[in-house]
Amino acid sequence: MPENTPHLEFRDVTKSFGGNTVLNDLNFTVGTGERVTLIGPSGSGKTTILRLVMTLEELTGGYIDLGGNPLQYEERGGRRMRVPDRQRRRTTQQVGMVFQHFNLFPNMTVMENIVEAPIHVMGLKKAEAEAKAEALLDKVGMAWKKDARPSQLSGGQQQRVAIARALAMDPEVLLLDEVTSALDPEQVGEVLAVLQDIAAETDISMLIVTHEMQFARDVSDRVMMFDQGSIVEEGEPDKIFSDPSHQRTQDFLRAVL
């Protein structure tokens, strides 16, 4: 059950690319342990929101706080100050991200992919990191491939390894950006099943972008419908999917379901 303390907080967030404003004055929070799914038409800014949290994009205006700590910018003495890189990295260490195209390191084995950050960021001993990686690989059903290279795996298998890699950093927030949309249809199920297990067994906060509406319905505490960088409506999945209040949500759901 989600608590009410905000874990992730967007305050007056603005993001532009060149002159093109993609997010305009966006405000929302994600509670500790809460699972929030973002839906909305292509180009509505869903990926941009996740990339801002991961500091893959620089905020144009406003603030994002994580567990009370400023992520990219902070207000000090009435001025908006950039958070230094080192401190940014310390804060984003609590955030994990799984990408649409997996982005495993092709020059490393499955095991090396997973222990890389625990060893070199968290400072775990190699043996410790490997024991932990084994357990995670077991959980995603990939322990038998720990010495394989990513190029020897199917898309679904690579994505399961990528999920284990993100979890190996003990993230408090997990960002999932259309993690099944690059997969062959027959591999979608195995990845969603793994994510459902993780959602059931952990209390990691999640920010999810997906076109898998059944999955969204199953794991989400809340669904937010976006259009053109603004929240059209939000609510519990049953409400949004069965009885949306807005015409735009109805049109969008009719198009994707």
Ligand X SMILES: Nc1ncnc2c1ncn2[C@@H]1O[C@H](COP(=O)(O)OP(=O)(O)OP(=O)(O)O)[C@@H](O)[C@H]1O
Residues that bind other proteins (CB under 8 A): 54-56, 89, 92-93, 95-97, 99, 101, 103-108, 116-117, 120-121, 165-166, 169
- The yes or no reply on residue 37 touching Mg ion (CB under 5 A) is no
At residue 190, the 3 state secondary structure works out as helix
**Count of positions (residues) in the chain:** 257
Q: How far is the CB of 56 from ligand X (least distance, A)?
A: 10
The residue from 44, 47, 220, 249 that contacts Mg ion (CB under 5 A) is 47
User: Residues in the site for ligand X, rule: CB under 6 A?
Assistant: 17, 22, 40, 42-48
Cα distance between residue 204 and residue 72, in whole Å: 21
Number of residues that bind Mg ion (CB under 5 A): 1
Q: How far is residue 198's CA from residue 203's CA, in Å, rounded to a whole number?
A: 9
Neighbours of 233 (CB within 10 A): 16
CB of 235 to other proteins, least distance (A): 30
Smallest gap, in angstroms, from Cβ of residue 86 to other proteins? 9
Q: Which does 121 bind (CB under 5 to 8 A by kind): ligand X, other proteins, Mg ion, none?
A: other proteins
* Six token digits for residue 201: 């067994």
**Cα–Cα distance for residue pair 199/176, rounded to 1 Å:** 12
- Nearest approach in angstroms of CB 107 to other proteins is 4
The CA angle 223-65-63, to the nearest 5 degrees, is 95
Contact residues toward Mg ion (CB under 5 A) are: 47
